[in-house]
Amino acid sequence: MFKNCFFETSTGTTVKTPEARKTEPTRPAVPRLSLEIVKENPLSKRLRKLDNTSITHAPKYSEGVYITTNEERSDVIAELLAEKPNTGGGCHIGFSGWHNLDIMALRRSSYGVICDHNPENAYFLSVTLNNLLKSNNREQFIEKMTRFVNTHDFHRLSKKTESNLDNAIKFSPNFRSDARCSDPSDEIRDHLQVKTGWLANEERFQFIKFLAHNDRIVLLTEDILATETFIRLKKLLQENAVEIDTLYTSNIGAYMKSPESRVAFLETVQALSESETKIIDARGDFYQYCDDLAQRLTTPKLLVDSDKANQWWWGEETLREYLQRETPEEKAKRAALVHSHFKSEAVRRFMLQNEDTPTSPSFTS
């Protein structure tokens, strides 16, 4: 997800400071679109009743919809997920945007539930699924989605005095460590080149289309702290013998500052987990000397009590503890990433956890 960067990109996309956002045009209620499916899936129909229709507007200080992910190590996590085959289908549950489709395509999920507290997310994903159903191949889909974002980008339309903002969507620019930024249409087309993405090949594209056609992707608007909603969600899945295979929370945990919010967050994670659920999240301080968000993978059995859970999500020693559990293959993958990412030899030694690791590595590079 987005980190706190505020500047104008080379493509002209403006990321505004909180002060500047106060002068933005008033934004109307976000449309709720119906999916253009032939027959509604009975389970999906029941799951959609959990949608919080009282959330009608985007959060006041929301940076917008995250189309893809800017989190590092998503390729490493994808490989780890591939090494743990999903033989029973199962349901993927996740927050934010298209990265959930990436995971569903990799895991061959039988269902997907995508949630977010910003109703713009469900609006954008509804357009995604409807355009997907109308497209025979990836190029047709990309053309439809590019046309949509070019005519519905809030940042672009708000610069035009006579623009209609009723159906506009605010998109969050995708900033990565290589300082590469793109506008929404570029970001959509670039996803064709993401090797672990759902648009990487025609087979994955057609699989997600199959799920959409059979109404097996549910979009909900709800705050992750609404634990009771997610308890009901899990109960519906259990009643239909559908296991929760994967849970993706992005870096939402970083926004949990108060003890109350952290307790509610952990309760929701617990509610959405089963014994073998793969939990994917991201922390900005996971690689302690890297500003980028980095993905991690764990399971509920490693978060068996509140102390371990708090340490995982918010503890300072999480990195070392995580590295101690790595397999030789995981260490090799991390080593390749570290050598390509960090210039400082001291930092590289620290990240690779060599025996001569300095306790306080120099930051010269």
- What pLDDT score was predicted for residue 113? 99
Enumerate long-range contacts of 42-45, CB under 8 Å, 24 or more apart: 43/111, 43/236, 43/237, 43/240, 43/242, 44/111, 44/215, 44/216, 44/217, 44/218
Cα–Cα distance, 324 to 127 (Å, whole number):
43
Candidates 106, 151, 108, 111; CA nearest to 127 is: 151
- For 350, the token pair is 């620290």
Tens-digit pLDDT string for the chain (365 aa): 433 333 332 233 333 444 444 445 567 788 888 888 878 999 999 999 999 999 999 888 777 899 999 888 899 999 999 888 777 789 999 999 999 999 999 999 999 999 999 999 999 999 999 999 999 999 999 999 999 999 988 888 877 766 677 788 889 877 654 445 568 998 999 999 999 999 999 999 999 999 999 999 999 999 999 999 999 999 999 999 999 999 999 999 988 988 899 999 999 999 999 989 999 999 875 444 444 678 999 989 888 788 888 888 888 655 555 566 667 777 776 666 656 544 445 445 545 544 333 333 322 22
Cα–Cα distance, 365 to 360 (Å, whole number):
15
147-161 pLDDT, tens digit per residue, is: 999 998 888 887 776
- What pLDDT score was predicted for residue 36? 85
Instruction: Report how far apart, in Å, the C-alpha atoms of 266 and of each of 92, 114, 164, 260 are.
Output: 18, 18, 41, 10
Q: Would you say the C-alpha torsion 297, 301, 302, 306 has a positive or negative sign?
A: positive
- What pLDDT score was predicted for residue 356? 36
The owner of tokens 């939402």 is: 252
- For 133, the token pair is 């159903």
